[in-house]
Structure 1
Amino acid sequence: MEIGIIGGGATGMLLAHYLGDNHQVTLYVRRKEQAASIESKGIQLAVTNITTIIHVRQIDEGIRNHAILFVCVKQNHLDHLTPVLNKIADSTTVIFLQNGMAHIEKAKELSANVMVGVIEHGALKVSDHTVRHSGKGIIRVAYLTGSVDSISLVERLNQENFPFVLEPDYYPMLAKKLVINAVINPLTALFEIRNGQLLDNPFLTQLARQLCREACQVLHLDEIEEWTNVMQIARATAGNYSSMYKDITNGRTTEIDAITGYLLKNSTEQISGHALLLQAIKAKQYEKRKEGEDE
């Protein structure tokens, strides 16, 4: 299949590397420096040094027609992509892979076939052409709008070493991932710790449990089941730093509005833990930017 991938971050590069073995892949990136690096060196998987040669273009050059188009940019970059996505052919299946759920309404407005998904792999961008696969998992996808044959599409994407799973309903899939992100990401970013340390410190564990409880109230999920999931992910990724931690460390805009902000926007009751955390992350991000300006 002809597959397009928008986003030259860790997720986009990981997808391009694995899917590039069996499909004709084009990776769309923002910076010409990254485009030149991948064009000359391919995408390299760190540690193994396995290289996959793919096509690469800058987003500004325009998006070609593909059977599938993965959107792997963060929530805060989606608004800039809207004019591009509105031009996508109706025959294309667009698969959104974002944290949070703020993108759902935007995705429904597209005339193309649309699916949404969550990626359970761990990935770290090492350089403009190198990605580290830090934890193997599954990519789960579900139908959102359009007339796509979801079963056939997922079967063609699925690989033994890079599995795809079709979920029957997008809401629980995204909501369960949102709980995990809303608990682990902000707390690890605020306290500057690795994921596993949330379970090593009883006070942080108590905070995490409160955030899980509040999120489940908003999303109508079972608190005990989702707390088990949060603990499992924290243990499985114990040595990793969350994406929000890395965003703040590197002076990038976080996805706090798409994650915690979504919960606050859709809550009918007061969720004080998330309300405080939203302001705390924004304050930390503000101070980090001031430090950069003062240097």
Structure 2
Amino acid sequence: MKINVIGGGAIGLLTAAKLGRIHDVRLLARTREQSEEIAVKGLHIGDEVIVVETLPSTDWRALGQADVWIVCVKQYDLPPIWEKLKLHAKAAVVFLQNGMNHTDFLQEEDFDYPIIVGSVEHGAIRIDSHTVEHTGEAAIRLADLTGNYAEVLVNQLHKPDFPILFEQDWRLMLGTKLIANAVINPLTAIYQVKNGELLEHSAFEKIAEVLCKEAADALGLEEEQQWANVRRIIYATKANLSSMHRDIQAGRLTEIESISGYVRNHAKQAVPYTDFVYYSILGLTKQQERTNQ
């Protein structure tokens, strides 16, 4: 297949590298410097070096058409990317983002091609512009937002060493991941702890459970099942630093708007714990910006 991958972050590099072993992959990187470095050195993942065609984000027209587009940018970078995609894409588009804000505006649009949303369960850290560390092997799950193409695509892309799985219910799929993110990401960033410490201290665990309840209620999902899933993920990733924790440490923007912000926007009743972590992360981000100036 011809696949255009948009985004040179950890998930974009991981996706381009894994799919590039078999398929014809073109990667749209953020900068010309990144695209040139990948062109010279290839994509590095573990001991593997995968060669993929790479272009900077200014060269949309040079990408050409593909059988599928896979968008791996952060939520806050998505709106301008989507405006360009509407002009260029003529085939299925897959969105691999944390949070769910994109589902709101995508459902308001009209397309001639399928829109697929995905949930990435892998752990990945970008080491440099051409190297990604695969910190946790899991799966990518895909579901149809519009159209009826996700299962066909899964059958074309799935490989045992890079599983891509089909899900019937996009709301349940994305909602389940969002609830875990709404609990783990802000709390670990605020308390500056690894994921596992949220269950090692009764006070942290109590706050985590209430955050889970608020998010589950807002999304209309069953609280007990979601709390069991959150606990499972915390145990499975207990030694990890969450992406939001790393973002705060590095002085980067976080995805709090598309995670806790989505819960706040869709809640039918007060969500005081979610409000607290939402505004806390906004405050920490501003504080870190001043520190880095």
Judge same fold: TM > 0.5, yes or no. yes
**1:1-295 alignment, distance < 5 Å:** 1-46=1-46, 49-62=47-60, 63-90=63-90, 92-108=91-107, 109=109, 111=111, 112-146=113-147, 148-293=148-293
Equivalent residue of 1:87, what SS? Answer: helix
Task: Give the aligned length.
Answer: 289
Partner-residue secondary structure (3-state), 1:144 = strand
Q: Is the 8 A contact 1:86 1:110 kept in 2?
A: no
CA distance in 2, matches of 1:22, 1:180: 32
CA contact (8 A) 1:180 1:229 kept: yes
Unaligned runs of 5+ in 1: none
Cα distance in 2 for partners of 1:110, 1:101 equals 18
Provide, for residues 132-163 of structure 1, a one-character-per-residue CA deviation record: whole Å limited to 9, x for no partner. 110110100001113x5332221110001001
Deviations 1:102-129 (Å, cap 9, x if unpaired)? Answer: 0013323252321000000010101111
Q: Distance in 2 between matches of 1:23 and 1:201?
A: 46
Partner of 2:58, secondary structure, is helix
SS of residue in 2 equivalent to 1:275: helix
Residue range with higher mean Cα deviation, 81-90 or 270-279: 81-90
CA distance in 2, matches of 1:217, 1:105: 18
Q: Do the aligned partners of 2:74 and 2:255 also contact (CA within 8 Å) in 1?
A: yes
Cα distance in 2 between the residues matched to 1:193 and 1:64: 44
SS of 2:3's equivalent in the other structure is strand
Distance in 2 separating the partners of 1:153 and 1:41? 30
Could you give the per-residue CA deviations for residues 161-197 of structure 1, whole angstroms, max 9, x where no partner exists?
0011110111100110110000000000111111111
Tell me the C-alpha RMSD between the 2 structures.
1.1
- The answer on whether the counterparts of 2:69 and 2:89 sit within 8 Å (CA) in structure 1 is no
Deviation at 1:81, TM superposition (A): 1.1
Structure-2-length-normalised TM-score? 0.96
Q: Distance in 2 between matches of 1:182 and 1:152?
A: 31
Distance 1:11 1:110 in 2: 27
SS of residue matched to 1:165: strand
**Residue 101 of structure 2 aligns to a residue in which SS?**
coil
Where 2:165 maps in the other structure, the secondary structure is strand
Partner-residue secondary structure (3-state), 1:214 = helix
Query: For 2:152 and 2:162, how far apart are their aligned partners in 1?
Result: 17
